[in-house]
Amino acid sequence: MKPIEIKPGIYWVGVIDWAIRDFHGYVTKNGTTYNNYLVMDDEVTLLDTVKHDFDATAVENIRRVVDPYKIKNIVINHIEPDHASSIAAIMEYAPDATIFITERGKKGLDRHFDTSRWKFRIVKSGDTLKTGKYTLTFLETPMLHWPDSMVTYIPEAKLLISQDAFGQHMASAARFDDEFFSCHSQFELDDAIVDYYANILMPFGKLIEAKIQEIVKLGLEIDMIAPDHGIIWRKDPGYIIQRYLDLAKGKADLAAVIIYDTMWHSTELMSDPIMNGIKDEGVPCKVIKLRSTSMSEAIKEFWRARGCLIGTPTINNVMFPSVAEFLYHLAGLRPKDRIVGGFGSYGWGGGAVKEAYAKFQQMGLEAVEPGLQVLYKPSAEDMDRCYEFGRDFAKRLKEYHGKFQAV
């Protein structure tokens, strides 16, 4: 892939992964990129590597700019394998390079590679590396999203290399935000941002907010944000900062999503009048059937909307497995500021809807009680109850959403 000069003497030397659809279980429907950057200065410095599947491409990309042997420093902002697992291949060509990394990053790297012959410099927030005309300043971002994480700021270039932060899983011919719309839409961009945030960063909202405020207080001049995935923000880096702040604060659309699964279509039948009830209250509503939709898509739509209704039949006195899996996964993402409810059909003992509410309580979500259950298959009267259930939920949702608008 052709290196691209993003600032004078600073090159994108990353890889576009057009084919990946399973990113440790997260469905990357648009593929992704592994961005890394090469600073051509008195001391040639590589910022991050790429996923090991692309070792050969990573080396070749560097070679198009400089002999990899000349790399003097390698900055590892984050040790997750999509960014750090080509390090061994790079070190074959640049065995004398010094690796700049956080203490936790070094410990993690030691667990993945034989690092005994590699040179390291452990860095903390505020430490710098002068490469010549450029100064690389490191800022630790622990738990954003791994303990080892940091970002690198280059003041002379007003450039923030932000590792995962501000990224998107999006394989594209476009490298920059201003090129993006020549082949994609605004919807695709925002969809990719929300998808990435919801599935990877949702648990860290407070930390993200605090870290962005810290960067703002430091008064860093930033006219380009170059993440390790997706497009580089050069036209309007403020846009992605504000979008992240909104997402971190839990901002949501006044909308609902029904996420359900069904055994013999009874819970599915209930979804339809519930959706109509929500819609008739003027609230947009999406419907997602688990098992027909990826978990990551469902998570994204959950986070986009202020309200969610979970539909689950009862099987063996508990929730349907796909619904249980969804709620289990959602709980790990520690969602906040969402209103939820549950519904479903049962044959004899019931239990699934009750179990869903226990999960809502565990997550600390606002729940509209008591949910709605129907025996076996919904009758005409049950369908009317479903419609009213949808309307009532939408009314509560609007009220709940209003509290956030007033802040």
Positions marked active-site: 24, 78, 80, 82, 145, 164, 196, 229
Query: Whose Cβ is closer to ligand FEO: residue 146's or residue 239's?
Result: 146
Q: Which two tokens stand for residue 248?
A: 């971190």
In the stretch 204-243, what mask flags binding to ligand FEO with x, by CB under 6 A? Answer: ------------------------xx--------------
Q: Which two tokens stand for residue 378?
A: 């919904």
Name residues contacting ligand FEO, limited to 144-203 (CB under 6 A): 145, 164
Query: Whose Cβ is closer to ligand FEO: residue 66's or residue 171's?
Result: 171
Alpha carbons 132 and 67: distance in angstroms, whole number: 18
Alpha carbon distances (Å) from 198 to 79, 141, 152, 244: 21, 19, 24, 11
The Cβ of residue 296 has, within 10 Å, a number of other Cβ atoms equal to 21
Residue 80 binds ligand FEO, judged by CB under 6 A: yes
Residue 83 binds ligand FEO, judged by CB under 6 A: yes
Residue 253 binds ligand FEO, judged by CB under 6 A: no
How many residues lie near ligand FEO (CB under 6 A)? Answer: 8
Q: How far is the CB of 51 from ligand FEO (least distance, A)?
A: 9
Handedness of CA 264, 270, 275, 276 (dihedral sign): positive
Q: How far is the CB of 8 from ligand FEO (least distance, A)?
A: 27
- Reply yes or no: is the peptide bond before residue 169 cis, omega within 30 of 0: no
**138-175 per-residue burial string, b: 16 or more CB within 10 A, e: under 16:** bbbbeebbbbbbbbbbbeebebbbbbbbbbbbbbbebb
Alpha carbons 196 and 163: distance in angstroms, whole number: 13
Among 17, 45, 78, 320, binds ligand FEO (CB under 6 A): 78
Query: Whose Cβ is closer to ligand FEO: residue 24's or residue 217's?
Result: 24
Query: Whose Cβ is closer to ligand FEO: residue 78's or residue 300's?
Result: 78
Q: How far is the CB of 82 from ligand FEO (least distance, A)?
A: 4
Query: Whose Cβ is closer to ligand FEO: residue 36's or residue 61's?
Result: 36
Q: How far is the CB of 345 from ligand FEO (least distance, A)?
A: 40
Residue 51 binds ligand FEO, judged by CB under 6 A: no
Backbone angles phi, psi at 92, to 5 degrees: -60, -35
Q: How many angstroms from the chain centroid is the CA of residue 135? A: 29
Q: How far is the CB of 189 from ligand FEO (least distance, A)?
A: 18
Q: Which two tokens stand for residue 276?
A: 């109509």
Q: Are 267 and 311 in contact (CB under 8 A)?
A: yes
In the bound state, the residue with its beta carbon closest to ligand FEO is: 80
Residues near ligand FEO (CB under 6 A): 78, 80, 82-83, 145, 164, 228-229
